[in-house]
Amino acid sequence: MESSEFAELESNGVVQAAKEHYEKYDNVTVSENPHPLYGDYEDEEDSMKFQLQKHIDCITDNPDMDILVIFEFQRTIVYLSSQQAFKDFKSLLPKKIDRSDTEKLTFGKVYPDSLEMCPTSSSFKQRYNLFFRNTPFKKPESQVGLMLLVLEQYISKIKKNKAFDLVETIGSCLYDIVLTILFGEEFHKNIGKINYKYSDGRKYKTKFEEGLAQVSLDCIENGSDITSGLCPHINLKSEVDPYKRDQENIDEIYRVLTEFLTKNDTQSEFSCPLMGDILDPDSIKDYDPSELKNDLFLLIDAASGTLMLTIPSVLLTLKRNPEIWDKLYQELEKNGVIEEASKKNAFETDEGVKTILECEYLTYVIKEVMRLYPPTVGSSPYVANEEVTVCGVDISKDTQIFLNIASQHYNPKIWHNPLEFIPERFDPESELYYIPGTEDPRPVTSFIPFSFGKRKCAGDNYAMTALKVFVAYILIRVEFKIESKILSNQDYILGLDAESSLKVTITKKYG
């Protein structure tokens, strides 16, 4: 972009005009000093911590805030930040406010025609009913045996006293599991490898699940950079690197998957006998093949994407809080998890699986980590289809709208000492479970790491089960260390817009 174009954008005063509009309202907090061109953009390495801290500061200073307004380059971003704002939001769905497709610039680039990007129409409902209601992820407890089998295979391959990236390894493991659930145990033998193109321009033969994990991270990183922010059309057109390279890798992944899905039936554009339990032949007839493959990738991502960051985040937080680690380990021992793990056919029975799933303190720990460090500060994006009013605030057509996850997780009127790591706050028998100064439980929408409503994360139940299984098994199976400089750096957090790597070293294995 030429310097004259930058000057023209600045002279338009788009950011300033929006800022002045929202500053008229007492129940709105507006970003104080946005740049006229860049808005509140920060270097992507610091963006998650910057965003999270900004939301924490705003809700701490004004816990009665209904709306937070920030600016991403020339775009006004409205975060709905109160229970009343959520109620107004729900009343405006889906006619006046509906899902936006701006995630096509980041991880949504992998599945641009999926349900995630689709407006809430009759077509959306039909596709959802055909696909997501029938997936095996609806009963995740039935997949625990497979989760542990694959996780153990990965652990057994890791060398002791050699540093490795926990996020990358967990990501590959999760994708391995979900692909096996969808396509059967023979999938990894029959699926071809991906010719993955890296930033040096070279292509390397890569396992399908590893390429899928990598392209999601690449799209998030590249879609969050300054070029994509200022000129999103450059990203969408994919005509120059790194966006062109990302699209080439996505096309390669789709090519390899399509070959696998169609090789058993040359008469059909889409055939997958292994998915017979999910979609019957009549359902497949009603499904556009491209949309179906997009929805498959959405489902795979929903069951893997944020988990690859959340599981390491839980382990990192436990390392920083050894007293919580000890208390959790005692629960695992008391519930029989350690004894079950020592058996020859460990966790193959319902009773064996229950030893993990019924660990209440484990649930509290996981929820508290997700409260403090949500995968992202806001929900998936929505857009105002026309001018709307929320909590008395006029919001113009085409404005991007998010549900403010961070503000709900840190509101001092809802949570006791919200800046502290206290898993007990999720224990119904604890006084910390209730709204401060009352005997009233917190609103359901005060804890929304998976968002809420009909458009919440499709893999939330599966995610919670996988979190419990992975964290519990890793704690009893290995001892590991993390560099002291990372442990002591409280600003080092994992998230979609934050750090996406965590180097760990296994020092001891049990069993």
Map tokens 């793990």 to a residue: 341
* Assigned token pair, 336: 């029989």
Are 400 and 100 spatial neighbours (Cβ–Cβ below 8 Å)?
Answer: yes
- DSSP conformation letters of 454-486: TTS-TTHHHHHHHHHHHHHHHHHHEEEEE-HHH
Contacts 24+ apart (CB under 8 A), 357-362: 357/141, 357/144, 357/465, 357/468, 359/331, 359/332, 359/335, 359/468, 359/472, 360/331, 360/427, 361/327, 361/328, 361/331, 361/423, 362/328, 362/331, 362/332, 362/468, 362/471, 362/472
Task: From 105, 117, 113, 109, select the one nearest 230 (Cα to Cα).
Answer: 105
State the amino acid at position 314 in one-letter form. Answer: V
Map tokens 């999270």 to a residue: 52
Task: Report how far residue 362's alpha carbon sits from residue 327's, in angstroms, rounded to the nearest whole number.
Answer: 10
Are 502 and 316 spatial neighbours (Cβ–Cβ below 8 Å)?
Answer: yes
Q: How do 203-206 and 194-197 pair as beta strands?
A: antiparallel
- The answer to whether 359 is annotated as binding is no
DSSP state of 427: -
Residues 6+ apart with CB under 8 A from 304: 171, 174, 175, 177, 178, 213
Which residues partner with 195 through β-bridges?
A: 205
Cis peptide, bond prior to residue 381, ω within 30 of zero? no
Task: Report how far residue 481's alpha carbon sits from residue 499's, in angstroms, rounded to the nearest whole number.
Answer: 18
Map tokens 């206290």 to a residue: 422
Element (H, E) at 80: strand 75-80
Are 92 and 388 spatial neighbours (Cβ–Cβ below 8 Å)?
Answer: yes
Element (H, E) at 401: strand 400-403
CA distances from residue 453 to 100, 135, 368, 391 in whole angstroms, order as listed: 16, 19, 21, 19
DSSP state of 498: S
Strands, E assignment, 87-220: 97-99, 164-165, 194-197, 203-206
* Assigned token pair, 251: 């096309």
Q: Residue positions in the annotated binding site?
A: 457
Q: Residue positions in the annotated binding site for heme?
A: 457
